[in-house]
Chains A and B, each alone.
Chain A
Amino acid sequence: MNQFLPPRQRAVLTALVLFFVAGDWLGQSTQAEYGDVVINNYSDDAGMRPVVFPHWFHRIRYRCKVCHGDLGFEFKAGGNDINMLKIIDGEYCGACHNGEHAWAVENCDVCHSAKPGTPTQVHESTLQKLIAPVDRP
Chain B
Amino acid sequence: MKYSRSLQLIQLGVLGALLMGVALAALSAEKKDPNKFNRLMTPISERNPPPAEDGIHDPESFGTELLQTPRASFSVLPRSPSGNYVNWTKALDDGAIEPRYHRDDADAGPVVMDLNIVREVKGSMPNVVYPHKQHTEWLDCSNCHPALFIPQKGANQISMAQILLGEACGACHGKVAFPVSECRRCHSQPKLEVSKTE
Contact = CB atoms under 8 A, between A and B. Distances in A.
Interface of A: 5-6, 9, 12-13, 16, 19-20, 23-36, 38, 49, 52, 54-57, 59-66, 68-71, 75, 95-96, 101, 107-116, 118, 122-127, 130, 134-136
A13 B140 contact: no
Nearest to A38: B56
Interface in B55-109: 55-59, 61-64, 66-68, 70, 73-74, 82-84, 86, 88, 97, 99-104
A63 B56 contact: no
Interface residues of B, number: 67
Contacts of A68: 139-140, 143
Contacts, number: 188
Interface stretch (B116-124, B165-173, B186-194): B165-173
Nearest to A59: B99
A33 B102 contact: no
A109 B31 CA distance: 32
A32 B139 contact: no
B74 to A, nearest CB: 8
Nearest to A65: B140
Interface stretch (B45-53, B125-133, B151-159): B45-53
